[in-house]
């Protein structure tokens, strides 16, 4: 049974969940949603960046690079959702403070 089904049953049964049960259920629900998102991203990338016979080598390289970027994002989504702690996304680019004086 999925975490969503168990959460629905718990909410509609009238039996309150213990805090540890609720935390476990929410963690499983978050993981399921992360897996679904990652699977959807993977499917989209496979369909969107499939090589065509008319593609040049440059087109093929661009598609492989884009496919890799989408798959890295999918894996990051899966990793964050499975993490037992609230994850923070690492800063992107150069975030060092620079003096303007």
pLDDT of residue 97: 62
Give domain status of residue 78, yes or no.
yes
Scanning 1-101, the segments in alpha helix (DSSP H) are: 3-13, 19-48, 57-82
Q: What is the mean pLDDT of the chain?
A: 84
Could you tell me which residues come within 8 angstroms of residue 76 by beta carbon, excluding any fewer than 6 positions away?
A: 89
Band the pLDDT of 6: cuts 50, 70, 90: confident
Dist. CA 23–CA 4, nearest whole Å: 13
Structural domain contains residue 94? no
Decide if 36 is inside a domain.
yes
- Name the band, by pLDDT with cuts 50, 70 and 90, for residue 7: confident
With respect to residue 70, please indicate whether it lies within any of the assigned structural domains. Answer: yes
pLDDT per residue as tens digits for the range 46-74: 999 998 999 999 999 999 999 999 999 99
**Is the pLDDT reported for residue 95 higher than 80?**
no
- Whether residue 92 is contained in a domain is answered as no
Q: How far apart are the first and last CA of the chain?
A: 61
CA distance 65 to 46: 12
pTM attached to this predicted model: 0.68
Answer yes or no: is 90 within a domain: no
- The answer to the question of residue 32 being in a domain is yes
Of residues 62 and 14, more confidently modeled:
62
Number of folded domains that form the chain? 1
- Would residue 101 count as lying in a domain? no
3-state secondary structure of 72: helix
**Containing domain of residue 58, as a range?**
3-82
């Amino acid at each position: 049974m999925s975490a969503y089904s168990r959460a629905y049953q718990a909410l509609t049964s009238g039996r309150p969940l213990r805090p540890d049960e609720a935390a476990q259920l929410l963690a499983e629900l978050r993981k399921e949603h992360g897996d679904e998102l990652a699977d959807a991203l993977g499917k989209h990338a496979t369909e969107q960046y499939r090589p065509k016979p008319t593609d040049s080598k440059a087109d093929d390289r661009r598609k492989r690079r884009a496919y890799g970027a989408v798959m890295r994002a999918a894996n990051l989504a899966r990793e964050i959702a499975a993490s037992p702690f609230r994850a923070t996304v690492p800063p992107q680019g150069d975030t060092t403070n620079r003096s303007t004086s």
